[in-house]
Amino acid sequence: MPSGLWVFIEQQKGQIRKVSLELLSEGRKVADELNLELGAVVLGEGVSELAKEAISYGADIVYVADNSDLANYTTGAYTSVLNKLIREKEPQIFLLGNTAIGKDLAPRLAQRLGVGLASDCTAMETHPENLLVFTRPVYAGKALNKVSSQVRPILATIRPNTFPLAQPDPGREGKVENVDGAIDPADLKAIVKDIVLAASERPELTEANIIVSGGRGMKGPEHFAMLEELADVLGAAVGASRAAVDSGWREHEFQVGQTGKTVSPTLYIACGISVAIQHLAGMGSSKVIVAINKDPEANIFNVADYGIVGDVFDVVPILTEEFKKVVSE
């Protein structure tokens, strides 16, 4: 089988990030179409067990670099190991999630390999000559750009929640190859001693199954406390529209939309959001959308599965109390 399509497995504290599993799921389909071997690359310390999960999501072979110098992500160390591995094995395609790590790692890796990079892609399709053609939103989603490359390897970062997760097969078999994770001291320009996470028990926005989001209708940052209370009852993440972020009510990391984060939860509760096109682009793939808005003509009701016409300041507290009863049972 020809040299393959590889997926970079991003992991945090021994847990594979959802976007990497999405890329394996879609990568399996693409690899079959192109008759390529699907590979996965795992870097870290004590990460050998993650190979089984990668195989269950479709990987034919998993390359594992297990080294204490790779315990925490650093640009120099990860770029060095991946550069050597890609030059040695010569995969034709290398995909990464368009996450904080992916956006930092991919361009540096592209520079080392002397290839181009298709960044922040939202679709990919096979092509008879160029293997893959990627779709990239530009101008805040007002236009779509088609990108391809004839230089190998093809490098691309894919936006989280772009592709659906496949059902894992725990009994699936694949190969595991341990590779050299040694780092040239010259590449260790920075060493991460410790990582301090924000003190929150809520799930990360792009990983959450339930999201409670607020928009301009929340009327101020202090009123997001009511959404946080509802979110805590449901075990949900809290998001915000661009209008709320631009008003300074929430930090940009909470923004859902074309210029924020793309999410695909099981349940999305939109509170006081009329839903601009750019916001819909970020949450339109949610399985169930519940809208709460006092304007019966709000655009959000055109895409919502369930709509509540009413003031969020009246509706949300009632929902919170009712969900508390359900959860307690």
Per residue in 213-271, pLDDT (tens digit) is: 999 999 999 999 999 999 999 999 999 999 999 999 999 999 998 788 889 899 999 99
**Mean pLDDT in the chain?**
91
The pair of structure tokens assigned to 169 is 């097969």
Rounded to 5 degrees, what are φ and ψ at 118?
-100, 115
Helices assigned H by DSSP within the chain: 18-34, 50-56, 75-89, 100-113, 224-234, 242-246, 277-283, 300-303, 312-328
Report the CATH number of the 205-328 domain: 3.40.50.1220
Q: How confident is the model at residue 14 (pLDDT cuts 50, 70, 90)?
A: confident
Q: Exposed e or buried b for every residue in 127-164, given b needs 16+ CB within 10 A?
A: eeeebbbbebbeeebeeeeebbbeebbbbbbbbbbbbe
Write the CA distances from 196 to 11, 69, 102, 148, 200, integer angstroms.
Answer: 16, 18, 20, 39, 12
The pLDDT of residue 110 = 96
> How many other C-beta atoms can be found within 10 angstroms of the C-beta atom of residue 10?
24
**pTM value?**
0.80
Helices assigned H by DSSP within 129-173: none
Q: How many residues does the chain have?
A: 329
Q: Is the pLDDT of residue 199 over 70?
A: no
The pLDDT of residue 11 = 93
Residue type, 260: G
Question: Lowest-pLDDT range, 16-30, 34-48, 94-108, 116-130?
Answer: 116-130
**What interhelical angle do 224-234 and 312-328 show, nearest 10?**
20
**What interhelical angle do 100-113 and 75-89 show, nearest 10?**
50
Q: Exposed e or buried b for every residue in 221-230, given b needs 16+ CB within 10 A?
A: eebbebbeeb
Report the CATH number of the 5-187 domain: 3.40.50.620
The pLDDT of residue 200 = 62
Q: In what order do the strands lie in the sheet with 175-178?
A: 117-121, 154-158, 93-97, 5-9, 38-44, 61-66, 175-178
* DSSP state letter for 256: B
The pLDDT of residue 280 = 87
Q: How confident is the model at residue 117 (pLDDT cuts 50, 70, 90)?
A: very high
Per residue in 125-144, pLDDT (tens digit) is: 998 887 899 999 887 667 88
Domain ranges of the chain: 5-187, 205-328
Q: How confident is the model at residue 80 (pLDDT cuts 50, 70, 90)?
A: very high
Q: Is the pLDDT of residue 282 over 80?
A: yes
